A and B are shown apart, each in its own frame.
Chain A
Amino acid sequence: MTASPARGISLHRIGAMILRYWYLLLSSWPRLLELLYWPALQVITWGFLQLYIAENANFFARAGGTLIGAVILWDILFRGQLGFSISFLEEMWARNLGNLMMSPLRPIEFLLALMVMSLIRLAIGIIPMTLLALFLFHFNVYALGLPLIAFFCNLIFTSWSVGIFVSGLVLRNGLGAESIVWTLMFAILPLACVYYPVSVLPVWLQYVAWALPPTYAFEGMRALLIEQTFRTDLMLEALVINAVLLAASFGAFLALLRSAKRHGSLLSGGE
């Protein structure tokens, strides 16, 4: 027998979905390896580049860690979104979405489970990456202290917004839209000023950059590493934009889900 009808948000159902992805991760060593492989490759490549630049340029020597710090923060943003979206794609690949949509699982619970999974997948990939940066390049990202939490929160919120939106697109358009999952975040890369300050951009493009929450995190990181100043104003502004983005992406997801039901996409799910 089942319990009473599904009303409100159920931690039990969210836990069931996390358990489903946990079983999947444990059953597949390639999936686990993939979580570690790319972040490690990134930090090693950019870490050596940072070393080379530090030996040849006074400014960068003074601004030690800006590149490798940017790489780690970028990976939080990118891997956070992938961690969210890949868990969603697993349902599409497994043709399991119909089972979930027909169960008492509510869309908000599904999305919350995907958020938790993005944190778990991120931890598996990023923690070894930060340890590599520490032992190979003596860059201790944890030495950033509390500001690191502010950067992390703002970046992860943005990654979830993008993840929710692209998942909605795949839900509506099927796996033919899968490439958006892998590429959309790269559209943000040049505008979020990951490796260079906003002032490098033309003035009109700076307005676009400041509309993106990650820009505030990367600018904040540079301010911290170069000027030893934590810009709380930047973090608060980013938080406000992130709140708007999260609400908008959730609204878009529900609209795309409704559109998928209207067009029968949930039955096909293919290309």
Chain B
Amino acid sequence: MTENGKASSRPTVADRAASAAIAVDHLVKVYKQTRAVDDISFSLPRGSITGLLGGNGAGKTTTIAMIMGLVLPTSGRVQVLGHEMPDESASVLGRMNFESPYVDMPMRLTVRQNLTVFGKLYAVKNLAGRIARLAADLDLGDFIDRANGKLSAGQKTRVALAKALINEPELLLLDEPTASLDPDTADWVRAHLERYRRDNNATILLASHNMLEVERLCDRVIIMKRGRIEDDDTPEAIMARYNRTTLEEVFLDVARGRANGAKEAVR
């Protein structure tokens, strides 16, 4: 269903979508005169980690918000775990989760209280055991009974990640998952995400400005600029196409409009 209330009848992605974790088909979002997302399509296989790259205003957050059902597309369609969003969201919201800098956990509640509330919302079985496991995995033990508002930025990020993992989601949407973490903790969180994906065959879509993080974690990168997909491939293939050795250099080429020149030079 789009914001106009019209269901798209395009069948082309239906087969792919059934096996994909996320299938986005000709997705458009227009805010007044601004095309925040401009006709993008992609499909993410289950068990993959994909990085969504782009400068500020590229459309990453709007794209993720439409996948989550928090924003209605102007046109196009989104399928998550084989279900149309947002019409069939009740069938998938319990199987996915997210972390974003645009939301916080309630500040006055302790970490344990927050995880208890969200665990109950997601109907997590053996909730006390799950919280204990997350506390051990994400090293929350020292502050699990402290109010969320009294935690450092890094501790809050770990708590937000614990909330995102509380229901052992099949699909995890992460917006800047290691922002405000020190390098050691950030590296540790990345290792945890890699392990989580491997152990659960989970699909992860992450938006990040940390190119090293994307290079390390992602087996696929989608680069967005002004609402459109500028490139979409493995990190290695993209770097080769732009004749660059790091994704950061590719990012700068795209952001500064040197993308076509760089690709031409390789050809």
Contacts and interface: CB of A to CB of B under 8 A. Distances in A.
Nearest to B2: A262
B107 to A, nearest CB: 6
Given A23-B110, A94-B107, 7 more contacts: A2-B95, A2-B123, A6-B123, A10-B123, A19-B116, A97-B103, A267-B65
B187 interface: no
Nearest to A27: B108
Given A2-B168, A103-B121, A267-B71, A95 B31 contact: no
Nearest to B147: A27
Interface in B101-155: 102-110, 113, 116-118, 120-125, 147
A6 B168 CA distance: 16
A205 to B, nearest CB: 39
Contacts of A95: 102-104
A146 interface: no
Given A264-B65, A267-B61, A104 B123 contact: yes
B118 A99 contact: yes
A94 B104 contact: yes
A266 B121 contact: no
Nearest to A15: B120
Contacts of B82: none
Interface string A14-30: 01110110011001100
B237 interface: no
Contact of A104 (B61, B93, B147): B93
A137 B167 CA distance: 55
B157 interface: no
A101 B147 CA distance: 23
A7 B90 contact: yes
Interface string A103-127: 1111000000000000000000000
A94 B120 CA distance: 19
B3 interface: yes
B50 interface: no
Interface size class, chain A: 35 or more
A65 B128 CA distance: 52
A190 B31 CA distance: 41
B70 interface: yes
Contacts of B107: 94
Nearest to A268: B102
B121 A24 contact: no
A23 B109 contact: yes
B104 A96 contact: yes
B121 A105 contact: yes
12 contacts: A1-B125, A2-B168, A6-B93, A15-B120, A20-B109, A20-B113, A27-B147, A94-B107, A96-B105, A102-B93, A103-B118, A106-B90
Contact of A102 (B62, B70, B116, B123): B70
B242 interface: no
A264 B90 contact: no
A5 interface: yes
B91 interface: yes
A98 interface: yes
A231 interface: no
A258 interface: yes
A102 B31 CA distance: 22
Given A6-B94, A94-B107, A101 B70 contact: yes
Contact of A12 (B98, B100, B118, B120): B120
